[in-house]
Amino acid sequence: MRRSLIVAGLVTAMVSLACRENQPPQRVEGPPTNAPADVSHGEAPIGTAAAPAPIDPAAPPRSTSRVHHLRVAIKHAKIPIAEGVTYDAWTFDGRVPGPVLRVTQGDTVDFTLVNEAPMPHSLDFHAAEIAPSRAYVNLMPHDSLHYRFVARVPGAFMYHCGTAPVALHIANGMYGAIIVDPRQGRPAAKEFVFVQSEFYTKTLRDSTRTIDWEKLLGLAPDYVVFNGREAEYAHHPIQVRVGEPLRLYVVNAGPNRFSAFHVVGAIFDRVYIDGSLAHPLEGVQTVTVPVGGGAIFEAHLVEAGTYPFVSHAFADATKGAVGMFRAQ
């Protein structure tokens, strides 16, 4: 019995060896060796600033209104996520990320959500304190929902579709940022909003991309992006002035990858986790923005030049989580 098992094992080993010898050698792909851009951390080619970026990174201005009538429409839409790459997305207001909303601490948000998509969706405001069972319910196609909340806590907050499976709805594009300014305001600065997120794609027959659920569960995105497009602000560098105070509202929509937010060539003067005024970090290089979280970064650039900003988790920067400030 034992001898026949040994013989069977030997035969199996010889057959598998013979099969392997008949196979062509597997091609092992190495890392690319040509840098996309001739600048430190140049993970993507740097474009000219002459053409504006598809999504303006500038923060919307503060409003003096104390009651904000906000209306968001859920729509399915095809949106570009990289040069020549179109994604079959689920969106708020037909764009990814959804619109940047901005209110002031203590203001009332009078909110209406309209579902113009052919399937149930919802919207969850991280800036609200409210019963999800009342406000974040699934909204059927052609239906609408209305409620109010008071934005009690200042910060940079995420909003997103909360319909299960939530990872699918977020990965398909249903997220955005809402800024809640402290009642007393913040010092004057040039302000930008960056929403980090991931796309997990496979190609359909008509060459548009759709979700690849296996890639999502395996945490292997094709693209990691700021404001919905691969290396958008490397292709369209953001103009700033030397020495002027910058304020960056960074929200990480995920659905999976933590952001290690860093500006190359700068040290953050202050970082407000989520936006809390109580204990800002001072003199820090890189700060984690967790999935579903936000932070407010204040910095200045000391001399003229190009300053990349990245997720310092560098596989993600390679996949598109990179942009450039051009200081003049």
CA 139 – CA 136 distance, rounded (Å): 9
Q: State which residue, 25 or 118, has the beta carbon closest to Cu ion.
A: 118
* Min separation Cβ 170 and Cu ion, Å: 8
| Residue of 121, 160, 229, 257 interacting with Cu ion (CB under 5 A) | 121
Stretch that binds Cu ion, among 115-123, 256-264, 287-295, 320-328 (CB under 5 A): 115-123
* Min separation Cβ 111 and Cu ion, Å: 16
CA 65 – CA 53 distance, rounded (Å): 29
Total residues contacting Cu ion by CB under 5 A comes to 5
Pairing mode of beta strands 144-150, 108-115: antiparallel
Q: State which residue, 163 or 197, has the beta carbon closest to Cu ion.
A: 163
* Min separation Cβ 61 and Cu ion, Å: 29
Q: State which residue, 156 or 171, has the beta carbon closest to Cu ion.
A: 171
Give me 250's structure tokens. 């960074």
Site map for Cu ion, 131-170, x if CB under 5 A?
------------------------------x-x-----x-
Exposure string for 80-115, b = 16+ CB within 10 A, e = fewer: ebbeebebbbbbbbebbbbbbbbbbbebebebebbb
| Residue of 151, 170, 174, 273 interacting with Cu ion (CB under 5 A) | 174
CA 149 – CA 111 distance, rounded (Å): 8
CA 47 to chain centre: 21
* Min separation Cβ 146 and Cu ion, Å: 18
* Min separation Cβ 283 and Cu ion, Å: 40
Q: State which residue, 49 or 114, has the beta carbon closest to Cu ion.
A: 114
* Min separation Cβ 249 and Cu ion, Å: 23
* Min separation Cβ 163 and Cu ion, Å: 4
Q: State which residue, 151 or 161, has the beta carbon closest to Cu ion.
A: 161
Rounded to 5°, angle at Cα 189 from 292 and 236: 70
Q: State which residue, 102 or 169, has the beta carbon closest to Cu ion.
A: 169
Residue with the shortest CB distance to Cu ion:
161
Binding site for Cu ion (CB under 5 A): 121, 161, 163, 169, 174
